[in-house]
């Protein structure tokens, strides 16, 4: 059953001579010549030299807010998928917390049609678990799955009722589409603006404690274990959540997790700037949390890096920190910032970064894994690891400028993206 | 474990060049800055003894007071401070302004900024509002209270009052009692007192003491008896308006008052008592304590005037304090 839509229309002929090809799943890291004919990889031959560029399986972002329908002023399918192509992605999954929410076959069907016309790269849509994401009534999950929903989530909000989440997990046995949960116990996070810790104490912010996430992670994992159905934990931020995920996985629960570039690179110390572009949900946490997330990413407890790309109009973020909405963009900077902050200093290997940005998220949602093999559709990213560039608003394809990286210089750049056989981006 | 990538802090700090100084947080100040401001305030205090109280020091300068949250003492004190220094003063309040019509803070700031004010004094219910003004205008920004974050001039006037009354700040023990969680005054005061070498203990029920507050250099006690050991007992207002409904910070005001109210029995003779106002008499402070000779509450209000004169003057002038004092005496 199809889960990705649009982005087709062309199958290109491409060739790469003497490039370093890295595909961790295929066990490739060598200098090769690569030929793509009519969108399919047809030749992989030994090459020589090496022009400083790396060709890898293109990335998959399992967590993007395309703001469509409802807030096309912030992002739409065209701008969001163009931004994704520029970030090296060959597929993205959009979250259903739109206006209206993607909670019926009609809304989903309209999105699929728009994607076929407008998407630069293939895009999939998660549907809501509850009608209107209000946490009361289950959506018609079987119907939605048949119409192409890539998974189910009430992201942006937790599934407050354990009874409702249990029902959704039970329907997974029929739909086979992953249930993804935003873990937040609202009774503990209410009024919370930033991580509850030393920085919130000093600055006077209402705290959003780690335990608000981890108690919900614990509950949701228990429900998944009881129903013996898989569950995916969105944007993990706290050490305790990671511990819960690790022990559930080792107990055989089919649980997966994702982490964002900002939670891997920043801590709540940056909140001292009171810059609304470092305000997100879940919030940036302490250094020990960041270290735990890194460890989990390295050991595979967390399989996927997700941008949680959350565009906001400038006027909505140009307000006092406390009034600003949660969320930052990330599609166009994810690889570069993680390469600069984690791979260059030796914290994470390039192979692990590529795996967590590509094969990991594809596996979670059952999407076809981008791979470098003869006969495979070309889903490739070309990376220039030596190139430095400055993150500037004028360079964004996204409609919204709320990046936490504005003005910063990064090393490593996506220079070409091939998505489903089509050259979708070229720097 | 591999090397930790250094955190980006400097890159994210708001633009606050030495050319255009602001007073947004006590953390903007070093110890000598505080000493300089207190010395200036003392000079102004002497000048206010004269028959004609107005000084021409800021003649031709414009000070805009933007008060988007209710205030009696802070707004009147800033207004009078600016007037005593001969500045042109304009006051804007949320009610009756375009804020009522849904204008954003940034747009209001751009509008006011078009008049090129020298200083904008801002009181706002939300953390980070002064940064919006600082980014949108070319004025010096003085934070007169932003949400639960900071109220730096309150802390400076508290230092001034303590210094005047007790002849110094270093080595004193100050107990700050009550709703620390919701108090911008507590945060500014802890930082200012610790900066000047005082020992600070915060006292109150556990839900009203923020986790991790010790990292600011203070001690924590849940026992009201602790205040007997302090030289100064600083009583905070119970901020009922900032408490989320159903959050159960205190089961009842009655229990709070019974356990943590500052009463004559809980004090020892000679202890000084302060309160930033407005007081909830009979809740956090017993009326007998509020009206006793050892209460410095009205002194705090008087200190507010000279300290705010010092802040306005200091932001708009440069150079070492000796020069400034001479200038003031000359013009006075």
**Per the omega criterion (within 30 degrees of 0), is the bond before A69 cis?**
yes
- Chain B residues whose beta carbon lies within 8 Å of the beta carbon of residue A205: 127, 148-149
Active site residues of B: 73-74, 101, 123, 151
ipTM: 0.91
- Chain A residues whose beta carbon lies within 8 Å of the beta carbon of residue B187: 202-204
**Distance (Å, whole) CA A64 – CA A89:** 11
Q: Who among A197, A270, A322 is closest to B9 (CB)?
A: A270
Has residue B240 got a pLDDT over 90? no
User: Judging by DSSP bridges, how do beta strands B232-235 and B173-177 pair with one another?
Assistant: parallel
Give residue for tokens 């909505």: A316
Assign A351 to helix, strand or coil: helix
- Residue A127 is predicted with a pLDDT of 98
Q: If pLDDT is split at 50, 70 and 90, which confidence band does B3 have?
A: very low
Has residue B11 got a pLDDT over 70? no
Instruction: Give residue ranges of A with CB < 8 Å to any B CB.
Output: 190-191, 193, 196-198, 200-207, 265-267, 269-270, 272-276, 278, 287, 291, 295, 315, 318-324, 341-342, 345-348, 404, 407-408
pTM passes above 0.80: yes
CA B131 to chain centre: 17
Backbone angles phi, psi at A214, to 5 degrees: -70, -30
Question: DSSP letter at A272?
Answer: G
- Cα–Cα distance list, A401 to A72, A283, A310 (Å): 14, 19, 10
A274:B131 CB<8 A? yes
In order, the DSSP letters of A239-265 are: HHHHHHHHHHHHTT--EEEEE-HHHHH
Mutate which: B210, B219, B249, vs A, most A CBs within 10 A: B210
Q: pLDDT tens digits, residue range A239-249?
A: 999 999 999 99
Q: pLDDT tens digits, residue range A32-79?
A: 999 999 999 999 999 998 778 999 999 999 999 999 999 999 999 999
User: Mean pLDDT, to the nearest integer, of B186-192?
Assistant: 98
Residue of chain A nearest B135, judged by CA positions: A318
B7:A319 CB<8 A? no
Residue of chain B nearest A291, judged by CA positions: B4
**CB atoms closer than 10 angstroms to residue B242:** 16
- Residue B7 is predicted with a pLDDT of 41
What distance in Å separates residue A221's CA from the closest CA in chain B?
27
- A vs B, Cβ pairs < 8 A, gives 118
Assign A60 to helix, strand or coil: strand
CA angle B291, B292, B297 (to 5 degrees): 60
Torsion A22-A28-A33-A39 (CA) sign: negative
**Distance (Å, whole) CA A73 – CA B254:** 52
User: Mean pLDDT, to the nearest integer, of B201-224?
Assistant: 97
User: Mean pLDDT, to the nearest integer, of B277-287?
Assistant: 95
B128:A320 CB<8 A? yes
Has residue B321 got a pLDDT over 70? no
Q: Name beta bridge partners: B262.
A: B285
**Distance (Å, whole) CA A236 – CA A233:** 7
Of chain A, the percentage scoring pLDDT greater than 90 comes to: 98
Q: pLDDT tens digits, residue range A401-416?
A: 999 999 999 999 999 9
- Chain B residues whose beta carbon lies within 8 Å of the beta carbon of residue A278: 12
């Amino acid at each position: 059953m199809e889960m990705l839509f649009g982005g087709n229309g062309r199958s290109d002929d491409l060739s790469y001579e003497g490039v370093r090809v890295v595909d961790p799943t295929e066990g490739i890291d060598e200098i090769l010549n690569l030929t793509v004919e009519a969108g399919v990889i047809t030749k992989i031959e030994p090459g020589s030299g090496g022009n400083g560029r790396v060709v890898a399986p293109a990335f998959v972002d399992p967590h993007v807010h395309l703001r469509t329908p409802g807030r096309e002023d912030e992002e739409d399918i065209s701008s969001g998928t163009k931004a994704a192509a520029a970030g090296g992605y060959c597929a993205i999954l959009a979250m259903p917390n739109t206006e209206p929410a993607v909670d019926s076959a009609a809304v989903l069907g309209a999105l699929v049609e728009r994607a076929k016309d407008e998407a630069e790269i293939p895009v999939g849509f998660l549907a809501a678990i509850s009608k209107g994401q209000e946490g009361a009534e289950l959506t018609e999950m079987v119907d939605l799955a048949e119409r192409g929903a890539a998974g189910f989530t009430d992201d942006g909000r937790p599934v407050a009722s354990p009874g409702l989440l249990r029902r959704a997990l039970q329907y997974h046995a029929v739909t086979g589409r992953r249930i993804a949960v935003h873990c937040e116990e609202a009774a503990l996070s209410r009024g919370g603006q930033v991580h509850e810790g030393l920085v919130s104490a000093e600055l006077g912010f209402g705290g959003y404690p780690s335990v608000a996430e981890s108690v919900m992670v614990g509950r949701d994992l228990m429900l998944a274990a009881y129903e013996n159905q898989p569950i995916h934990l969105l944007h993990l931020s706290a050490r305790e959540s990671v511990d819960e995920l690790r022990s559930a996985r080792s107990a055989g629960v089919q649980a997966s997790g994702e982490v964002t570039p900002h939670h891997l690179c920043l801590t709540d110390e940056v909140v001292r700037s009171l810059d609304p572009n470092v305000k997100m949900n879940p919030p940036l946490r302490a250094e020990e949390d960041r270290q735990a997330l890194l460890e989990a990413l390295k050991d595979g407890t967390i399989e996927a890096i997700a941008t949680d790309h959350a565009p906001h109009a400038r006027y909505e973020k140009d307000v006092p920190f406390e009034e600003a909405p949660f969320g930052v963009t990330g599609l166009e900077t994810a690889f570069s910032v993680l390469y600069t902050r984690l791979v260059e200093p030796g914290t994470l290997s390039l192979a692990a970064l590529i795996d967590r940005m590509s094969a990991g998220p594809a596996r979670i949602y059952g999407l076809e894994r981008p791979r470098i093999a003869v006969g495979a559709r070309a889903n490739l990213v070309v990376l220039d690891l030596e190139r430095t560039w400055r993150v500037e608003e004028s360079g964004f394809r996204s409609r919204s400028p709320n990046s936490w990286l504005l003005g910063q210089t990064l090393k490593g750049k996506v220079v070409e993206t091939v998505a489903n056989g089509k050259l979708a981006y070229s720097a | 474990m591999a090397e930790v990538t250094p955190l980006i802090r400097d890159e994210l700090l708001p633009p606050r060049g030495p050319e255009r100084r602001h007073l947004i947080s006590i953390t903007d100040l070093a110890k000598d800055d505080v000493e300089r401001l207190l010395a200036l305030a003392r000079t102004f205090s002497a000048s206010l003894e004269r028959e004609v109280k107005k000084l021409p020091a800021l003649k031709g300068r414009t000070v805009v007071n933007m008060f988007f949250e209710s205030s009696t003492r802070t707004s009147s004190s800033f207004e009078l401070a600016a007037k005593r220094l001969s500045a042109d003063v304009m006051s804007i309040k949320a009610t009756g302004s375009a804020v009522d019509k849904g204008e954003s803070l940034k747009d209001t700031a751009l509008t006011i900024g078009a008049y090129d004010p020298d200083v904008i004094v801002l009181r706002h219910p939300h953390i980070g509002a002064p940064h919006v003004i600082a980014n949108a205008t070319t004025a010096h920004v003085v934070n007169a209270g932003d949400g639960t974050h900071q109220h730096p001039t309150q802390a400076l006037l508290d230092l001034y009052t303590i210094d005047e009354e007790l002849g110094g700040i270093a080595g004193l023990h100050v107990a700050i009692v009550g709703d620390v969680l919701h108090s911008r005054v507590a945060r500014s005061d802890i930082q200012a007192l610790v900066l000047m070498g005082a020992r600070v203990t915060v006292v109150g029920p556990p839900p009203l003491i923020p986790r991790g507050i010790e990292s600011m250099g203070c001690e924590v006690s849940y026992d009201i008896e602790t205040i007997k050991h302090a030289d100064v007992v600083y009583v905070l207002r119970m901020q009922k308006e900032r408490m989320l409904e159903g959050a159960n910070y205190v089961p009842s005001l009655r229990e709070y008052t019974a356990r943590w109210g500052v009463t004559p029995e809980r004090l020892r003779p000679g202890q000084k008592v302060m309160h930033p106002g407005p007081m909830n008499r009979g809740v956090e402070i017993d009326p007998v304590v509020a009206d006793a000779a050892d209460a410095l509450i009205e002194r705090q209000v008087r200190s507010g005037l000279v300290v705010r004169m010092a802040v306005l003057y200091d932001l708009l002038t440069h150079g070492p304090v000796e020069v400034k004092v001479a200038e003031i005496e000359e013009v006075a």
